[in-house]
Amino acid sequence: MAATQTTGNAGPLEGLRVIEVGDLAEWAGKLLADAGADVVRVEPRDGARSRHAGPYVGDRPDTNHSLRFAAANTSKRSVTLDLGTDEGASLWADLVCRAELVLDGAGPDGLENIGLGASRFRGERAELLWCSITPFGLNGPWRDWAANDLVQLALGGPMMSTGYDDHSLPPIRADGEHSIAMSNEYAVTAILAALWLRDESDEASGQLIDVSIHESVGATTEGSFPNWEYLGQRVLRQTGRHAAAQRNARWQYKCTDGDYILLMGGGVPRDGKIFAGLLEWMDEHDAAGDLHDPKYAQVLYTDPTMNVEVRNHVATTIGEFVQQLTAEEAYRRGQSLHLPWGLVRRPEQNLADPHWADREFFWEGELSGHPEPVRYPGAPYKFLKSPVRLRRRPPLLGEHNHEVYVGELGRSADELPQLAASGVI
Amino acid sequence: MGVLEEADRSGDARPLPLAGVRVCDFTWIVAGPQATRILADLGADVVKVENESYLDSMRLGLQNPDRPPGYNGSGFHGNFSRNKRGITANLHHPSGREAAERLIAQSDIVIENFSAGAFDRLGFGWERLQELNPDAIYISLSGFGQTGRDNSYITWGPTAAAVSGATQMSGLPDEDPAGWGYSYLDHTAGYYGAIAALMALVHRRRTGEAQYVDMAQIETGMVLTGVPVLDYQVNGREYTRIGNRSEYPAIAPHNIYRCAGDAFEDDRWIAIVAESEGQWAALCEVLEAPELASDERFASNEARKQHEDELDAAITALTRPRDPRALMYTLQARGVAAGLCQRTDDKMEHDEQLAARGFYPTAPHDELGEHRYEGFPAQFSDARWRMVRGAPLLGGDNMEVLSELGYSPEEIGQMMAELAV
């Protein structure tokens, strides 16, 4: 089945008009924009926060050369606007007027305090969708607390499940602004569901959608939840594997080439046939130890209690074996035996894997400040008929001021320099 | 009124956004069930199709050791398959197969997360689905995707995290990768699976066209690695781990600091981030450490970043004897970003915010009884999400669903007798 053929260029959300403001909604904006929505990011005059974060092209700070901004703002347009000015407020009202959805990442009071928030515009247009993404939600005792990605992943729970066997080392936050990703992914599900409802119903049923980053992160810690709710057990973080109520054998080993291999579940095969194939491979390296003893397969595949000691012994023996291999060899040969083992890659190493080239995963496009085209990570889904794709490179700051303010909002071209000079745009 | 509507005790008249959307759900383990959990929470009628030969094996996960093991005893499974209905359909029996086909014919979305090619081999490839129902959207969620030279490779969440780069991006610079302490990419793939299904629904309404969506779990992790992937291409920089610090932007202090233990364990930590000079001054005051505030090495963010090891050691010495929750409240009252590294018991028993927002609603389950569930992390002004019932018993909704599909009680009895359902 070839999933990559498409019958046109229109994305699944073609025609959806969105404005995005603030710093907590940029991943949602990107997901919508890559899918064909017209997303206009409304930035302060000195640019969104991610423009000031880096890393930068050539490590030279420049609001148009931030890679953090580039990674989260493909396919959008950018306008600048100082919402604190009278003229800025008026332009904002015009922008909201032409949008079906406002993506509000400006904090619980960012827009309300200046009279430009959901309460005003939803009153004017009942069909408007307004999605607010805030650290803790729009109500509750922690509503106004200060937070960033580290604090959110601490409070939400992922960190206490993530780290090392050695608990003198701290819980770990994975790098990559995942609290923004999780909350923005949930936000998009809520937005699309609300859009569906709006168009299914006879009334003009807009919504205020109140997404809490804390809840989004907190909904995601898997086994720790039923362990506590059903069994009253807490889980312990462990190196490179799932947190568990009881310690278990390692899953991750350093191989001869210095790279790591991940052995899912400690590497123990899921059935006897795969176990036999693995033993054959281990025999080539004289590394099967005592695993040919039928008692192991017997316990693993016929005893439903899955004796923990046996599992740990088998896993440890497999772990010793893979340390004699390169990680690449363990990965390829393991997968050929239907073992769900993974090479622990640095992210950029995927650029060279031909499997992703076969799937046309990466998107080639321009990047401001860099002379050559670059490859952006593509979409997490391949639509047969409505491609999700790179629609335009990440915008320069205010690149679309003229296009939007003059071309779409009908301001006169002569007015723009004046608005810029007076600090409005 | 169906069994889920009857179970709804909310008394909330606001609509469920996806009411009327039917999902034929062949998913198992976590990634696929996470996708359909979202759809079911938002009101879609998700019918989980299983059989003993392709049982959702999470049904056997994390059972209470004090109860006899069974297909309906897993709270782990319950958290992912709540608000769904469940039927058994034996696809190797003609009438079991026909029941599945009737369900597909009445569904808006068909979704599975088998290994690549497996659903096709079961006889339900895209072409066949189109014959059965030209309006059905098909979401396929495999490890490496249906196409590409390694499409036969298989993943679990941690495999996908490893290959995507997510595992490497977690941990201290001088230690092994820490990875994620749970199957983060099962959840992420699930979120994107739900997004794909909804985008395809929106597209179908606009164009009348159903379609097939091919998803690879690893790609759902790779989309989150844009910064290092670009950094490598334009600056030649290979990714190196940064622990809990912040390099882009450079902020200090920005770390996890050890605190006093609690009754359970000496393993309590607090996240503290002071970005502005005002926050830094407030932090020094709360920690009663004027010597830090006046230390030249820590006089600016730049200086603190330069002396970050000394800074973190000095702060740890001050947080170590303190209760982390009390310290969090004190710091937040002064506007400093701070958060206890919460365990699940902290979240469920002591988190005032989650409690105030009603994040852990309770619902019944026919075998496990009344329990709390993780909520949906957003609230709607003029709609709602639901938490009405735990996971379906294996085949527990056969009678209701098969009746809706047009089978008479006699026919259903016959199908049961022949083990077709």
Q: Where are the domains of chain A?
A: 17-219+361-421, 248-254+260-344
Contacts of A145 in chain B (CB under 8 A): 332, 337
Contact of A291 with A277, CB cutoff 8 Å: no
How many angstroms separate the CA atoms of B98 and B90, rounded? 9
On whether both B156 and B272 belong to a single domain, the answer is no
| pLDDT attached to residue B383 | 97
A29, two tokens: 């904006």
On whether both B282 and B398 belong to a single domain, the answer is no
Q: Which runs of E-coded beta strand occur in B39-136?
A: 45-50, 85-88, 109-112
pLDDT digits (tens, 9 = 90+) for A288-308: 999 999 999 998 988 766 788
- The residue to which tokens 């995290």 are assigned: B161
Q: Which residues contact B8 (CB under 8 A, 6 or more apart)?
A: B386, B388
Please give the DSSP secondary-structure letter assigned to residue B393.
Answer: P
How many angstroms separate the CA atoms of A214 and A199, rounded? 30
Q: Which residues pair with B63 in a beta bridge?
A: B74
A157, two tokens: 């729970």
Sequence-ordered alpha helix ranges (H) in A55-159: 67-72, 86-97, 118-124, 149-156
Report CA Rg, chain B.
25
On whether both B70 and B197 belong to a single domain, the answer is yes
Other C-beta atoms lying within 10 Å of the C-beta of residue B370:
9
User: What are the CA-CA distances from residue B103 to residues A328, B36, B192, B235 (Å)?
Assistant: 43, 16, 24, 53
Among residues A120, A40, A107, A121, the alpha carbon closest in space to that of A80 is found at: A40
- The residue to which tokens 């759809």 are assigned: B39
Q: Do B374 and A225 touch (CB under 8 A)?
A: yes
Contacts of A390 in chain B (CB under 8 A): none
Catalytic residues of B: 186
Contact of A1 with B120, CB cutoff 8 Å: yes
CATH number of the domain enclosing B259: 3.30.1540.10
| pLDDT attached to residue A7 | 52
Q: Which residues contact A16 (CB under 8 A, 6 or more apart)?
A: A32, A36, A37, A38, A100, A101, A195
Sequence-ordered alpha helix ranges (H) in A210-346: 213-218, 224-231, 272-284, 294-302, 308-322, 327-336
H or E segment and range at residue B132: helix B126-132
On whether both B217 and B276 belong to a single domain, the answer is no
Residue A1, pLDDT > 70, answer no
CATH number of the domain enclosing B128: 3.40.50.10540
Q: Do A347 and B168 touch (CB under 8 A)?
A: yes
Residue A5, pLDDT > 60, answer no
B193, part of any domain? yes
Among residues B156, B241, B162, the alpha carbon closest in space to that of A330 is found at: B162
Contact of A99 with A20, CB cutoff 8 Å: no
How many angstroms separate the CA atoms of B307 and B298, rounded? 7
On whether both B198 and B275 belong to a single domain, the answer is no
Chain A residues 147-206 within an 8 A CB cutoff of chain B: 147-148, 150-164, 167, 169-176, 178, 181-183, 185-190, 192-197, 199-201, 205-206
pLDDT digits (tens, 9 = 90+) for B47-65: 999 987 789 999 998 988 8
| pLDDT attached to residue B65 | 86
CA within 13 Å, CB half, B337: 24
- The residue to which tokens 């770390």 are assigned: B255
B63, two tokens: 């059972």
pLDDT digits (tens, 9 = 90+) for B71-92: 999 999 999 999 999 999 999 9
Q: Do A234 and B264 touch (CB under 8 A)?
A: yes
Contact of B260 with B323, CB cutoff 8 Å: yes
On whether both B179 and B129 belong to a single domain, the answer is yes
Percent of chain A with pLDDT over 90: 94
How many angstroms separate the CA atoms of A362 and A212, rounded? 31
Q: Which candidate from A15, A174, A196 shows the least CB-CB separation from B166? A: A174
| pLDDT attached to residue A201 | 87
Residue A117, pLDDT > 70, answer yes
Amino acid at A126: A
CA B62 to chain centre: 17
B190, part of any domain? yes
How many angstroms separate the CA atoms of B120 and A377, rounded? 28
| pLDDT attached to residue A104 | 98
| pLDDT attached to residue A203 | 78
How many angstroms separate the CA atoms of A235 and B341, rounded? 13
pLDDT digits (tens, 9 = 90+) for A175-210: 999 999 999 999 999 999 999 999 998 777 899 999
On whether both B305 and B374 belong to a single domain, the answer is no
On whether both B335 and B361 belong to a single domain, the answer is no
How many angstroms separate the CA atoms of B324 and A247, rounded? 25
On whether both B324 and B376 belong to a single domain, the answer is no
Other C-beta atoms lying within 10 Å of the C-beta of residue B138:
29
Distance in angstroms between the alpha carbons of the first and the last residue of chain A: 50
Strand B45-50, strand B85-88: pairing: parallel
CB proximity A379 to B under 8 Å: yes
How many angstroms separate the CA atoms of A40 and A95, rounded? 9
Contact of B177 with B170, CB cutoff 8 Å: yes
Q: How far is A295 from chain B (nearest CA, A)?
A: 23
Identify the sign of the CA torsion A40, A35, B166, B377: positive
Among residues B270, B274, B283, the alpha carbon closest in space to that of B346 is found at: B270
Q: How far is A390 from chain B (nearest CA, A)?
A: 13
What average pLDDT does range A131-140 have in this prediction?
A: 98
- The residue to which tokens 């194939």 are assigned: A277
Among residues B167, B161, B153, the alpha carbon closest in space to that of B185 is found at: B161
What average pLDDT does range A41-51 have in this prediction?
A: 98
Longest Cα separation, chain B: 86
**3-state secondary structure at position A80:** strand
**3-state secondary structure at position A237:** strand
Residue A2, pLDDT > 50, answer no
Q: Do B214 and A67 touch (CB under 8 A)?
A: no
Identify the sign of the CA torsion A51, A54, A55, A61: positive
User: How many A×B Cβ pairs under 8 Å?
Assistant: 537
Q: Which runs of E-coded beta strand occur in A98-257?
A: 101-105, 129-134, 162-163, 207-212, 236-239, 241-244, 252-254
CB proximity A389 to B under 8 Å: no
Q: Do A235 and B258 touch (CB under 8 A)?
A: no
Contact of A182 with A216, CB cutoff 8 Å: yes
B235, part of any domain? no
Q: Do B225 and A214 touch (CB under 8 A)?
A: no
How many angstroms separate the CA atoms of B354 and A151, rounded? 15
User: What are the CA-CA distances from residue A302 to residues A151, A298, A307 (Å)?
Assistant: 46, 5, 11
User: What are the CA-CA distances from residue A13 to residues A170, A395, B202, B205, B206 (Å)?
Assistant: 43, 20, 7, 11, 9
- Does domain A17-219+361-421 fall under CATH 3.40.50.10540? My reply is yes
Backbone conformation region of residue A148, classed left if phi is above 0, alpha if psi is from -120 to 50, else beta: beta
Contact of B136 with B107, CB cutoff 8 Å: yes
Q: Which candidate from A53, A194, A340 shows the least CB-CB separation from B154? A: A340
Instruction: Grade residue A406 by pLDDT with cuts at 50, 70 and 90.
Output: very high
The tally of domains found in chain B comes to 2
Q: Do B224 and A351 touch (CB under 8 A)?
A: no
Q: Which residues contact B14 (CB under 8 A, 6 or more apart)?
A: B380, B382, B383, B384
Residue A89, pLDDT > 70, answer yes
Among residues A20, A262, A171, the alpha carbon closest in space to that of B221 is found at: A262
Q: How far is A168 from chain B (nearest CA, A)?
A: 8
**3-state secondary structure at position A18:** strand
- The C-alpha torsion from B202 through A187 and A381 to B112, rounded to 10°, is -80
Q: Do A348 and B165 touch (CB under 8 A)?
A: yes
Chain A residues 31-90 within an 8 A CB cutoff of chain B: 31, 35, 52-55, 57-59, 67-68, 70-72
User: Residues of chain B whose pLDDT is less than 50?
Assistant: none
* Mean pLDDT taken over chain A: 96
Sequence-ordered alpha helix ranges (H) in B342-419: 344-350, 352-356, 398-404, 409-417
B248, part of any domain? no
A148, A229, A239, A246: best mutation site toward chain B, by most B Cβ within 10 Å? A229
B240, part of any domain? no
- Counted residue by residue, chain B has a size of 421
How many angstroms separate the CA atoms of B33 and B139, rounded? 12
**3-state secondary structure at position B294:** coil
Q: Do B377 and A226 touch (CB under 8 A)?
A: no
Q: Which of B319, B350, B381 is the last residue of a domain?
A: B350
Phi, psi of B156 (to 5 degrees): -115, 175
Residue A343, pLDDT > 60, answer yes
- Which residue range(s) make up the domain with B170? 3-224+357-417
Other C-beta atoms lying within 10 Å of the C-beta of residue A301:
15
**3-state secondary structure at position B87:** strand
On whether both B333 and B363 belong to a single domain, the answer is no
Among residues A371, A348, A351, A362, the alpha carbon closest in space to that of A65 is found at: A371
On whether both B337 and B380 belong to a single domain, the answer is no
Q: Which residues pair with A163 in a beta bridge?
A: A239
| pLDDT attached to residue A304 | 65
Q: How far is B142 from chain A (nearest CA, A)?
A: 11
CA within 13 Å, CB half, A343: 20
pLDDT digits (tens, 9 = 90+) for A52-81: 999 999 999 999 999 999 999 999 999 999
On whether both B198 and B261 belong to a single domain, the answer is no
CB proximity A28 to B under 8 Å: no
